[in-house]
Amino acid sequence: MSCRAGVIKEAVDGLLLLDKPSGPTSHDLVASVRRLSGSPKAGHTGTLDPMASGLLIILVGKATKLAPFVPGDPKVYEGCILLGLSTDSMDIEGEVIAEGTYDGGPERAQAALASLVGVVEQVPPMFSAVKYRGKPLYRYARRGEEVPRQSRTVRVYRSEMRAFRVRGTHAEMDFLIECSPGTYVRDLAARVGDGLGCGGTLSRLRRMGSGPFGVEDAMSVEEMRELAVKGRDYLLPLERAVEGCKRVDVAESGLIAVRNGSPLGGSMLRRVDAEVMEGDAVAVFAGGELIGMHRVSQVSPFISHALRMM
């Protein structure tokens, strides 16, 4: 079922799947949603650079409590790498720091892109929103300062070339990449170019998916504003935010205790997903309503403890 079908009435709590255009920051769009919804609470589950477009997941009102639990693995991106050019930001909006020539043909380019699959150690780029001493790295970068950054381990599940074009002494390669959350695709683009000996920079990026959510189910900024002007809701129910999470249903006899934060188990249970494992974060439902998130402490007999209650 299309995500757009989940229209809710007169609510300021929910999930918005937005097709971000290239240009505005993710923060700008979150601010727009706050104004349109009238809710002081709104936030995204993963930023997109201003030049990037595609799926931006925004949580509004009570849904912001679910931010740590929204499934976001894998991230799926389409984009383009310009071979023969390197910039300080690793994307086309940065300052050019080196130019080279690529004349290796599509086969070498495809092999370099495919070599990304697996575990990758990345250091956050200086032009990023990661914070150092309370300030985003890009503020230091704009002053020409470089500060210490901790590396992170990410995974690239799939890395494929979709098209290849020669542009004079440069070349362009369109790609599709599936990766774990927190992956800097700009860094991957630069790695491909460096591996080919000519330099590379990201010239286009579009997020196609995040976990169970796809950009095909997202609405444009214009559609969102049009619905707001007409007084129609553009938010999806809270329950959609934890789509794909394992589920536990509470019996009526245990509802009051669970709402008050008590552990869940025994006669309080109505049903438990068969694949639930110890340590899992599970969505707790009562009569079809999401009432919170629990951590499974024990599977047999089942016991879980409250992480976040709605």
What CATH number labels 75-209? 3.30.2350.10
DSSP for residue 74: S
Which of these, 200, 94, 203, 85, lies nearest to 142 by C-alpha position?
Answer: 94
CATH architecture designation of domain 3-71+212-240: 2-Layer Sandwich (3.30)
| DSSP at 309 | E
Residue-level pLDDT at 12: 84
- Supply the DSSP symbol for 196: T
Q: Does residue 23 have a pLDDT over 90?
A: yes
Residue 3: pLDDT band with limits 50, 70, 90: very low
Task: State the average pLDDT over residues 101-121.
Answer: 97
Please state the domain extents for the chain. 3-71+212-240, 75-209, 245-309
What burial letters (b/e) apply to 284-306, b meaning 16+ CB within 10 Å? bbbeeebbbbbebeeeeebbbeb
Catalytic residues: 49
Which H, E and C letters describe 223-266, residue by residue? HHHHHHHCCCCCCECHHHHHCCCCEEEECHHHHHHHHCCCCEEH
pTM: 0.91
Task: Please state the rounded mean pLDDT for residues 20-40.
Answer: 94
Inter-residue contact 28 to 37 (CB < 8 Å): no
Domains 3-71+212-240 and 245-309 share a fold: no
pLDDT at 281: 97
More confident residue, 90 or 230: 90
Q: Does domain 245-309 have CATH number 3.50.50.60?
A: no
User: Helix (H, G, I), strand (E, B), or coil: what is residue 275?
Assistant: coil
pLDDT at 5: 38
Average pLDDT value for residue range 69-95: 96
Residue 227 CA to residue 237 CA, distance in Å, equals 16
Q: Which tokens sit at 206?
A: 């579009």
Question: Residue 134 pLDDT more than 90?
Answer: no
Closest CA to 245 of 202, 275, 288: 275
pLDDT at 274: 86
